[in-house]
Structure 1
């Protein structure tokens, strides 16, 4: 039986395959000046380490800049991305970290396998109707008590990016309201324990949100 891939997955893969090298060049060093990003990731790493460690995954890892940072914080980390070209760049930049191609809709991990998940701006291309499935997958692969940290742009409208870096591709970037994301997490069996919203900084168009949730023990 042949399964037809959702159109939004094909669109995201095409977009990120096209821009991968330029994206890596532009944003590879962005964490150096991203104070709140580093703070949230450090808190995540401390929670995982304090709980005894174990494998964590960055889902939607792109060229591996966050994944590499998590490894530098002492975590046993793996990366997953929809774009084969992004995964290729991530493997080249971080040969010590396992990366694989995959989708948030069907995570290639066993039930309860992960001691933590980082989904860093990786839910922003998923239509609202598919997000419950994504959160159900987050819940399925997390171990009891394990944390999930999400980052996303705050807003109600989608931003359409056309011809980035001169490439003839287009993709919608879906902004989210923190309350709606928290409801999705709660409905999936995840308890949100921390909410942080900061105002837009230079080069950003909207406020940015960080949510930390845990799977029930």
Structure 2
């Protein structure tokens, strides 16, 4: 996979630096998040059924590999991709039987049509709006005709700033989007949107930010 370097856009470098710094604390905080989220598991399960078990699937922005592992448990031939070397170190440590590679969603080192499915599980939220067409276009390029994409994100109009999480001297904006414009971008990139789901965040009862999930087909 393509390794990010000094030519990366500033937002890519900032995202990588942030997650390199917080990786272990992030993993400790979210290691059981799917166990407490039946609706998320249902959406990932629906995606897995649509994709099937024959083709390859990429978990783009996989972090410590939680979703990668869950999709593998459903029988998918899945590998993880992430910018952060620290996140990938955890993913490999916790999931020794799975493949994880370093790279950028904006420049996937894959042939055209190589994948049956791709997941962007809260990993497009650090990409500026004006660069999302590039991201979705690149994902479409590597999906085979009929391949499926799942995109998860928080719903809203203003970003949430995470400043010095767990005491680390880093900061990052977490963008919130509306499902309708996101669906429009996917359609402009050549996808057919099959499903739009908006739900209350599971787990933490005090967290009221709605969560969205789009499933689309090339």
Question: Aligned-pair distance for 1:53?
Answer: 2.1
Where relative contact order (Cα < 8 A, 6+ residues apart) is larger, the structure is: 2
Aligned counterpart, 1:8: 11
For residues 135-154 of structure 1, the aligned pairs below 5 Å read: 135-154=136-155
**Could you list the per-position Cα deviations for residues 47-87 of structure 1 after superposition, in whole angstroms to 9, with x for gaps in the alignment?**
112xx621101000000000000111111100000111101
CA distance in 1 between counterparts of 2:84 and 2:120 reads 15
Tell me the residue number matched to 1:70.
Answer: 71
User: Please, which of 34, 38, 43 is the counterpart of residue 37 of structure 2?
Assistant: 34
- The aligned counterpart of 2:50 is 47
Find the aligned partners of 1:66 and 1:200 in 2 and give their Cα distance.
17
Distance across 1 between alignment mates of 2:164 and 2:208 = 18
**2:30 is the alignment partner of 1:24:** no
Partner of 2:89: 88
Alignment of 1:53-64 (within 5 A): 53-64=54-65
Misfit runs of 4+, over 4 Å? none
Q: CA RMSD in A?
A: 1.3
Map 1:133-212 onto structure 2 (within 5 A).
Answer: 133-201=134-202, 202-212=205-215
1:100 equivalent in structure 2: 101
**TM superposition score normalised by structure 1:** 0.95
Q: How many residues align?
A: 212
CA positional deviation for 1:4: 2.6
What is the distance in 2 between the residues matched to 1:21 and 1:91? 13
2:155–2:212 Cα contact (<8 Å) kept: yes
